Structure 1
Amino acid sequence: MAADVLRGIVLIGMPGAGKSTIGTGLAQRHGLPLVDTDRLIEREEGQSLQAILDQRGYLALRSIEERVLLANNFTGKVVATGGSAVYSTAAMAHLKCFGPCVFLDIPLAEITARVQNLESRGIAGPPGLSLADVYAERLPLYRQYADIVVAGGGLDEQGLLLALEAALGLECKDPSD
């Protein structure tokens, strides 16, 4: 698996799972650039995800996300995807070309505790869905596309980073070193 990491790593999971945070740590520790696809979308569209949702709706945001993902080359990068990337079969097939797809599997209770800004977070789903509804809808998709699942329940940031490195077959060392 460690050889795949040289191609890249794709992180998937719910908002609040730690994709951007853990992706940043992984990228820094292994000398790879990080691409946060939510920020990539915001740069290319010139507005926040929430503004896109408010002005154009969740299906437009998903379409934009698919277009942006398909238009980019993620070779040799750690990719922290938006939580809704898994709605696009084409985008996920494209992302899998750049390395293993790793699902950061965080239990709903922990996601709920972490995501306090549901109304402004830019979560691409139909209006009125609760975080539990979004979780239930997406969980089978995350599992479907995952090459690797990292169970992150009860782990702090350092613990999740170490679990991810172990799952990828990377040299694991204490991040505080």
Structure 2
Amino acid sequence: MTIVLVGMPGCGKSTAGRQLARQMGWSFADSDAEIERQIGCSIRSFFDRQGEERFREIEQEVVERLARPSQLVLATGGGAVLRPANRRALAQPGNHVVYLRATPEDLARRLRHDTHRPLLQGGDPLRRLRDLFRQRDPLYREVASFVLDTGRTSVPTLVNLLHMQLEMAGLNAKPGGPQPGA
């Protein structure tokens, strides 16, 4: 089984995912970090040189590879759900997709000093986050097994909420407990 975390940029996918994987004794992967390893530069630089469409093609290849069911917690890039092929790969049998939902206002507060996310550079970041949220929220919900509102939740609280949701889904994901498929 793979636990897939989806949501807007800055919602906590990578931070919470890394801690969840550590507590479960599973592997962790961040699709954006894997893409950067593959392309040999930052996503922002790649966006500037090659454009979003080429980035999405590479992202699709990486998501397809990483989303195969295994004992993995996978944090996806915020736009990974834009392509139908990615949504199918993420929501395939054996995967549990968690949508970490945060409001555009909370995200703007968290990301106010971020200079690495190409879609949030320049102009009005809050307006851009609102536009992205309107576009992506239905897609996150389409693939999600369940939704967790992150709001102003701390990372430890978020990880505990993830554990509780996985337990309620019939998965024994308690820290230190027997793991799914064991």
Which TM class, normalised by the smaller chain length?
0.7 to 0.9
How far the C-alpha of 1:172 sits from its partner, in A, is 6.6
Q: Is the 8 A contact 1:9 1:102 kept in 2?
A: yes
**Residue of structure 1 equivalent to 2:98:** 102
What is the number of residues matched between the two proteins? 166
Where do 5+ consecutive residues of structure 2 fail to align? 168-172, 177-182
**Residue of structure 2 equivalent to 1:58:** 52
**Residue of structure 1 equivalent to 2:16:** 22
Q: Could you say what secondary structure the match of 2:55 adopts?
A: helix
**Residue of structure 2 equivalent to 1:146:** 144
4+ residue runs over 6 A deviation: none
Q: Is the 8 A contact 1:53 1:124 kept in 2?
A: no
| CA distance, structure 2, for counterparts of residue 103 and residue 117 of structure 1 | 24
| CA distance, structure 2, for counterparts of residue 24 and residue 30 of structure 1 | 10
How far the C-alpha of 1:29 sits from its partner, in A, is 0.4
Deviates more, 1:127-136 or 1:144-153: 127-136
- Identical columns (%): 33
Q: Could you say what secondary structure the match of 2:112 adopts?
A: coil
Q: Could you say what secondary structure the match of 1:120 adopts?
A: coil
How far the C-alpha of 1:44 sits from its partner, in A, is 0.8
Where do 5+ consecutive residues of structure 1 fail to align? 1-6
Corresponding residue to 2:4 among 10, 19, 23: 10
What TM-score do you get using the length of structure 1 for normalisation? 0.85
**Residue of structure 1 equivalent to 2:130:** 132
| CA distance, structure 2, for counterparts of residue 47 and residue 38 of structure 1 | 11
CA 1:27–1:71: 2 relative to 1, 3 Å? closer
| CA distance, structure 2, for counterparts of residue 155 and residue 118 of structure 1 | 19
The 5 Å alignment of 1:34-113 reads 34-72=28-66, 73=68, 75-97=70-92, 98-113=94-109
How far the C-alpha of 1:119 sits from its partner, in A, is 5.1
Corresponding residue to 1:120 among 109, 116, 122: 116
